[in-house]
Amino acid sequence: MAAEIHSRGGGAYPYEVDVTDPGAVEKLVEFVVQTCGGLHLAVNNAGVDGVRKATADYPLDIWRKLIDVNLNGVFYCMKYEIAAIAEQGGGAIVNMSSVLGSVGLPTASAYTAAKHGVVGLTKAATIEYARKGIRINVVGPGWIETPLLSEHQEITNTRRMEALQPMGRRGKPEEVAALVCFLLSEKAGFISGSYHLVDGAYTAH
């Protein structure tokens, strides 16, 4: 992907990082600053799913993994991104939550808890840094055609799930990306601390 972007005249620098490791995240931000001359915009999009178990039966190790990646990982990224963005006089961050940041799903307590946590973290941080010119928003995709969704075909392909899609289809990654790009742009200059769903009216039920 980086090579394709370069071929089109853009710039991209692949960098592998474990978002559950604060030290590794700090080094990533340092790499961006050194390579690009500063950090202005960030999207925190790392996420994993777990098993389908009722809350009392949920495995502790998988609970910890989901919270560590999906919630703690966002916090670690923001911790170092905010400092770097502040040095540039401001910028914007978009955190990726989920439609499950506003509603629940049986047998997905860890994922739901983490995604609710991302929404709360975003709201708290945006108040703290609004006057420093840093806007922080959160996006909640619904059922989007992604590899993560495909891993759980037994859940997402049931007639019940299809019936809960008022638009009669799943979303496309490009439809989520379009909103993220808008929130990062100056056109969204007065939007901060907001939770934006891209769910095809799923939560309108």
* Tokens 């997402």 -> residue: 156
CA 105 to chain centre: 18
User: Would strands 91-96 and 134-141 be described as parallel, antiparallel, or unpaired?
Assistant: parallel
Domain encompassing residue 76: 2-204
Whichever domain contains 125, its CATH number is: 3.40.50.720
Domain count, the chain: 1
Cβ atoms 163, 107 nearer than 8 A: no
Cβ atoms 114, 70 nearer than 8 A: yes
Helix (H) or strand (E) holding 27: helix 22-36
* Tokens 């495909």 -> residue: 150
CA 28 to chain centre: 17
As annotated, the active-site residues are 111
78's tokens:
């923001």
Per-residue pLDDT of the chain (205 residues; tens, 9 = 90+): 999 999 999 989 999 999 999 999 999 999 999 999 999 999 999 999 999 999 999 999 999 999 999 999 999 999 999 999 999 999 999 999 999 999 999 999 999 999 999 999 999 999 999 999 999 999 999 988 887 666 655 555 555 666 678 888 889 999 999 999 999 999 999 999 999 999 999 998 8
pTM listed for this prediction: 0.92
